[in-house]
Chains A and B, each alone.
Chain A
Amino acid sequence: MPSRASRSLAAVWAILRKECRSEWRTRYGLNSALLFAVTALVAVSFGAGRLGDRVDVLAAMLWIVLLFATLASLSHAFVREVEGQTLSMLRRVASPTEIAIGKLLFNLLFLAVLEIVTVPLFLVLMGAPPPRWGTFLALLALGSLALAVSSTLLGALIAQSRGRGALFAGVSFPVLLPVLAAAVSGTRAQWQQLPAGGEIRLLAAYGAALMAASLLLYDHLWEE
């Protein structure tokens, strides 16, 4: 008989695969996220030209593009289940924590795909100076983790509420502000050849704290 841990892993894996398959069939989030990112980058590069000497603006722009391109899609991971009335089916096959971890992994994968397309395009179109790759990739990875963990948690919390769109915007602002501030500050610092260790540690700690809070909360979600 499979152990409890291996059953949970199987459930998380099944949910991740199901999310990928659903996204591939519907292109619900990826198309709109990519369209937004590419359009925003092309429009800014036409309007403002190359901004290689303004690394403060570049750092802010990079994270604004990533945030807006992903936010609507990430929060919709749970909203889609409620609107498609499939949450009961999902709850019959996995625990809330397994569901949330499966969706978090999908959100991370989604962000990774988006960044693989968006970040090189950003560096080229904006004429950004060459980044310090180790620091830059660490900031991207930890910033994305914090973004995905917080959006998944907030998406799960607001999914069954009325007026969830407005609620998500209101609730996500204070939760995402520390992520954005640390990510922008760290990205600017690495372009200015300044140390960014503080921002990296902050993003890692914030992501870990949100993850711990999520794991404590998920099993109490969707109580009817």
Chain B
Amino acid sequence: MEIKLEGNGLGHRYGRGRGLEPLSFALSGPGVVAVTGPNGSGKSTLLRILAGLLRPSAGASTLRVERCEFERAERRKVTGWASPDLHFYGELTVRENLEFAAEARGLTGRSVAVREVVGSVGLTSRLDDRAAALSTGMHQRLRLAFALLGSPPILLLDEPGSHLDAAGKGHLVEVLTRVRATTRVVLATNDPGERDLAEQSIALAGRGLGDTA
């Protein structure tokens, strides 16, 4: 699959504080790239920009899949995003949250797709539990399942291993190993184990919100 992900002078400011120092990169084809940097350097900001959730205050990003360019508003159709900022409806079950997402995205074979992604992160036994009843680690697995739903060609994973136990981390490694041949994975992490899963890396040097320059 032809996948291109580019940033050209991509930067962002939150008010007077800098969220992401201007950055340029070009990634093509499937594979795993790690985005590293100190807290506040803009890893999450970069992923939100690539996911189309945030308009950069400088530069531009380009996302192409099979020669189709996806503008910001359309990126949800080809990207899966998991982040600590992602929260679910506590009054709905794991199954209902994911089936709602699948239905809203117009995915066919919703039940099968939900069972598949839930199985791949080891959450099958909690399928009918309300999201509010999940532990932090289980919540993180649900975020991963949400990102994987519909097998998007681009995965944007922000600290995907945080709060996961050994079994959860095992599932994460299995998933990344399985999808890396067909999917472009952007992994924001400072975990050495997760960094080792990537064949490329983008190091962010900015001081993030603390930097008002």
Chain A positions within 8 Å of B, measured between CB atoms, are: 2, 6-7, 10-11, 13-15, 17-18, 21-22, 25-26, 84-86, 88-89, 91-95, 98, 219, 223-224
The answer to whether residues A89 and B96 also contact, given A22-B91, A26-B91 and a CB cut-off of 8 A, is no
B132 to chain A, nearest CB (A): 10
Return the contact of A18 from the options B81, B90, B100, B105 (Cβ within 8 A): B100
Complex: chain A residue closest to B87, CB-CB:
A85
Binary contact track B54-87/A, C-beta < 8 Å → 1, others 0:
1100000000000000000100100001010111
Contact of B89 with A93 in the complex, beta carbons under 8 Å:
no
Cβ–Cβ contact B53 & A224, under 8 A:
yes
Residues in chain A near residue B87, CB distance under 8 A: 84-86, 88-89
A22 partner residues in chain B, CB cutoff 8 A: 89, 91-92
Is A14 within 8 A of B73, CB to CB?
Answer: no
Using CB atoms, name the residue of chain A closest to B101: A93
Do B53 and A93 have beta carbons less than 8 Å apart?
A: no
The B interface, classified by DSSP as helix, strand, loop or mixed, is loop
Could you list 23 examples of A-B contacts with CB < 8 Å? Answer: A6-B106, A7-B106, A10-B104, A10-B106, A11-B104, A11-B106, A13-B103, A14-B103, A14-B104, A18-B92, A21-B91, A21-B96, A25-B91, A84-B89, A84-B90, A86-B87, A89-B101, A92-B51, A93-B76, A94-B105, A98-B104, A219-B73, A224-B53
A116 to chain B, nearest CB (A): 24
Pair count A-B, CB < 8 A = 73
* Chain A contact residues, majority secondary structure: helix
Are A95 and B105 in touch, CB under 8 angstroms?
no
Residue of B nearest to A94 (CB): B104
Closest 10 A/B residue pairs (Cβ): A14-B103, A14-B104, A93-B104, A85-B87, A7-B106, A25-B91, A11-B104, A10-B106, A224-B54, A93-B101
Q: Determine the chain A residues whose CB is within 8 A of the CB of B146 once the complex forms.
A: 89, 92
Question: How close is B153's CB to chain A, nearest CB, in angstroms?
Answer: 15
Q: Are A223 and B103 in contact (CB under 8 A)?
A: no
Residue of A15, A26, A86 ringed by the most chain B CB atoms within 10 A: A86
A16 to chain B, nearest CB (A): 10
- A223: nearest residue on chain B (CB-CB)? B55
Q: How far is the CB of B111 from chain A (nearest CB, A)?
A: 14
Chain A min CB distance to B52 (Å): 8
A100–chain B nearest beta-carbon distance, Å: 13
Nearest A residue to B55, CB-CB: A223
